[in-house]
Chain A
């Protein structure tokens, strides 16, 4: 007798059986016999019009019967049919993803990149970046002509965002557009904790409570005394869920 191999999601309708022997001279008759034996299967296999559902595929000895004679494909005693589901899915969005792959466009001429922030209070800035965020000091200088410090960063990317992209991130993090042309974003283990530590040491304006972003991060935006937009972000894991 031909047999039919049942996919795991449908075995709950066959009493757990993974393989069922059925009478049938062709594929169509064998499937009908299966549905007759296990009536709960019928609605999952067939539409109301009696056609096999589009995402139900039937293979005869590893060949899709659509490429043979469909339901009229004859069966022999030792044939095995398999019911195989098609699987599909996707996101809600209709617009292309915000991020795209970077494309290397030939030889770069940049050997290094330095981000320079002009600050009114150097000591306050060093408390923030050197002491609280713990960025290693490459060098510091105090001169009559001017003072400063160079702090090293573990991994740096330079992102260029359209105004629309910047507005989108602003609305996610702060609920409104901010006027800054440059924003500094630092990845930390716990954005809320680091924001709290910063708040204890330097006068920053917390622009918004922490936000869980659509891209899987927890972000806190603060504004320094000079108006630098600083995003602290941490990657969310499964334990850090609001759901």
Chain B
């Protein structure tokens, strides 16, 4: 009956941790094998040597912040740019053909370029220097290639900077012209808008309101005068003669006219007809030439009525003008919004134009800076020397890897053996396997220490 369910967490951990110590051969054998393999590899793998030239980035004559503003690229980012340029197929092909003219048009050129690309290493060394290294199976070739690459690098640096600056300036000029045209078009739009909406612009609101106020005041005056004239007419009619005649007919016509004008304008046909009759009667009376009291009263009445008519006409004109000015004022919010949008766009374009103009000025100055050669430049600080110690295979590293791999495999192997071991390993396991009490646990006897009495003497003394 096997009731053993397995060790507890801590017990299991201890059991597995002890596994490599319990099975030392399971660890030592893989370790020895791995170490042997790594030593063999370190001995027999083909060696590679690396030689490098140290290049100094000389300080600028112009302060760096100004050089940066003027478009001069700082050293580190330039390093990245030049690394890409150096690793390009074109540059490497050119370099290979320079070193070995027979390679031109050779089918092996492509593969050699790829191989070379993997053998070049460019890295920073401190703040103001970097190295160009070349790796090869031959130490002499590594040294020669490293020095050649350094020379090419420095030549390329100068050309790249010049090309870069010129290209930048051309681009900036094109951008500036584009910005200028856009700004001009926008300003024309603003001007056209203002011309089209003259009198209704937001800045003219003040004068429009003043005009409106003046017209309204004037209308009030005219209205008052009109009411007075109308009252006078009523008075004359009331106190004047009541007999029929031309004067009476005229008075009736005047009354009708006043009544019609309350509802209709002077263009109304009935109003026109009444006015025509009034004129005919007035002409008729003038023609008669009688200067009687009746005629004087009628004359005053006629004058009063004429006055009323004039005032009414004026009042209508004022209403028309007031409506016109009011409509201008009402349109201002809408026009203001449109004008604001146009002005904002114009402001942005102007800002952009100003920025481009400033950049162009900097670019012009940067180009002059390059022309006078006051920016960064490079020189070889330490040329490449003949390497004596190979970088590959790295013997200590191989040994370390061998040891670690061997130990790793050994530990895993011992753990595996521990896992598949079917024997009874602990008291807990024993109690789970056999249905009998465990009376005692006897420890393993360690070898005696030096100086301990042997058992024979101990028995004799017991």
Binding between chains A and B: no
Q: Which residues of A come within 8 Å of B, CB atoms?
A: none
Q: Which residues of B come within 8 Å of A, CB atoms?
A: none
